């Protein structure tokens, strides 16, 4: 907790230092900018003022009331920030393209999302959202505000399950809540928002099982299934899901190593006692793969050609070559070459990568 106190103080100091360097004229800011600044500053200061206060909280308050309050504060901060800096803004580059294809009824054929199906999948989900709530930048941006605010509560739950420390859980959620890049990014239509959201759901489910909050076989299988589906959805928005799979594998390996070190060998009785976890892990992987497979099949259908299942090679080339251009490769030699080769090889992306 002391570490978090210091981090908050450093953050608050940095805000005022930056304000001074860049000559922020707070008195000349509009109403929404002032309100956002006050909300963020208050959110940072209040935990420090009450850091030594001993609060007797009931389980209901810890599990239900605090996450709801965190969600509401986060939503207000983000709403004021969006109104302040994003109400008159317009999407550009990849973000503008996602908004363009989010229009209900618009075809994805010719969108070039075969190279970047993650962006295509995100545009498709925006299109589904626009069908229900209406097609406008404002509506879709408010979707960012909502899922990012839910993510704040998810972080609270995860830290509380792992540490059983309510105060530390609140600080963790607040730190994510007021971090400037997360607030600013709400005005941008980017797949990072749903990626973070679904990744946190997967982490929460795994944390509930790892900390033995749930122990019944049905509950374990249900949560592992939800985790697999959530991570599969996260994978469709951003190709960083493999990191999570590696983390889960490390946890399992360490569990077996720790068990072997203390009991000399892993007995059949031990494996039988863990069968619900083993079955759950298998269910997790099956549902994860099924969601990813289905997601790519949807994009094959939407785009009209086979889509790229792994964009890593293109990103590596783009990162090492300043001539790659934007993520669609528009008007740049290597990007255009990549797109042309996908057609020449009949969308054999592995061959193009070689």
Q: What is the mean pLDDT of each run of 10 residues along the chain (354 residues)?
A: 60 57 47 57 59 63 85 87 69 78 83 80 89 84 89 92 83 80 79 90 88 83 91 85 73 64 55 70 88 88 82 64 50 64 78 74
Q: What is the pLDDT of residue 146?
A: 92
Q: What is the pLDDT of residue 266?
A: 55
d(CA 248, CA 203): 10
d(CA 233, CA 242): 13
d(CA 257, CA 318): 40
Residue 247 C-beta-side C-alpha neighbours within 13 Å: 12
Q: What is the pLDDT of residue 318?
A: 61
Q: Which of 106, 113, 108, 94 is nearest to 347 (CA)?
A: 113
d(CA 342, CA 322): 21
Q: What is the pLDDT of residue 71?
A: 92
Q: Is 214 left (phi over 0), alpha (psi -120 to 50) or beta?
A: beta
d(CA 194, CA 182): 13
Cβ burial 265-290 (10 Å sphere, 16+ → b, else e): eeeeeeeeebebbeebbebbbebbee
SS3 212: coil
> How far is residue 276 CA from its own chain's centroid?
28
What is the greatest pairwise CA distance in the chain? 71
State both tokens at 348: 């054999």
| Residue 147, C-beta contacts closer than 8 angstroms, at least 6 positions apart | 193, 194, 197
Question: What is the dihedral sign for C-alpha 53, 12, 153, 30?
Answer: positive
Q: Are the beta carbons of 189 and 220 closer than 8 angstroms? A: no
State both tokens at 180: 């400037």
Query: In angstroms, what is the C-alpha Rg of the chain?
Result: 23
Q: What is the pLDDT of residue 40?
A: 61
Q: What is the pLDDT of residue 14?
A: 60
d(CA 124, CA 237): 11
Q: Are the beta carbons of 88 and 96 closer than 8 angstroms? A: no
First to last CA, the chain: 50
d(CA 160, CA 154): 10
Q: What is the pLDDT of residue 327?
A: 47
């Amino acid at each position: 907790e002391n570490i978090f106190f210091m981090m908050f103080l450093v953050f608050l100091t940095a805000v005022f230092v930056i304000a001074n360097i860049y000559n922020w004229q707070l008195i000349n800011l509009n109403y929404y900018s002032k309100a956002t600044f006050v909300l963020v500053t208050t959110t940072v200061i209040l935990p420090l003022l009450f850091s030594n206060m001993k609060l007797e909280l009931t389980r209901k308050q810890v599990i239900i009331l605090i996450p709801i309050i965190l969600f509401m504060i986060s939503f207000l901060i983000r709403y004021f920030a969006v109104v302040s800096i994003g109400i008159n803004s317009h999407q550009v580059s990849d973000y503008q393209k996602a908004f363009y294809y989010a229009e209900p009824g618009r075809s994805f054929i010719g969108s070039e999302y075969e190279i970047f199906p993650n962006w295509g999948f995100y545009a498709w989900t925006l299109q589904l959202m626009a069908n229900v709530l209406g097609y406008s930048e404002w509506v879709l941006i408010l979707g960012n505000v909502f899922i990012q605010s839910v993510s704040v509560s998810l972080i609270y739950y995860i830290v509380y399950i792992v540490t059983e420390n309510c105060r530390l859980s609140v600080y963790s959620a607040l730190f994510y809540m007021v971090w400037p890049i997360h607030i600013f990014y709400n005005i941008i239509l980017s797949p990072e928002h749903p990626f973070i959201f679904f990744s946190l759901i997967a982490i929460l489910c795994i944390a509930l099982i790892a900390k033995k909050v749930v122990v019944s076989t049905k509950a374990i299988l249900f949560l592992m299934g939800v985790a697999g589906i959530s991570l599969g959805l996260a994978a469709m928005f951003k190709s960083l899901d493999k990191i999570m799979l590696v983390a889960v594998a490390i946890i399992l390996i360490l569990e077996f190593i720790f068990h072997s070190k203390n009991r000399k060998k892993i007995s059949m009785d031990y494996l039988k006692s863990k069968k619900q976890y083993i079955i759950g892990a298998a269910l997790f992987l099956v549902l994860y793969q099924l969601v990813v497979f289905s997601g790519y099949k949807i994009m094959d259908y939407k785009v009209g050609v086979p889509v790229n299942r792994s964009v890593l090679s293109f990103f590596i080339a783009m990162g090492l070559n300043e001539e790659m251009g934007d993520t669609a490769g528009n008007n740049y030699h290597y990007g255009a070459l990549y797109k042309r080769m996908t057609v020449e090889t009949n969308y054999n992306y592995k061959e193009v990568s070689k």
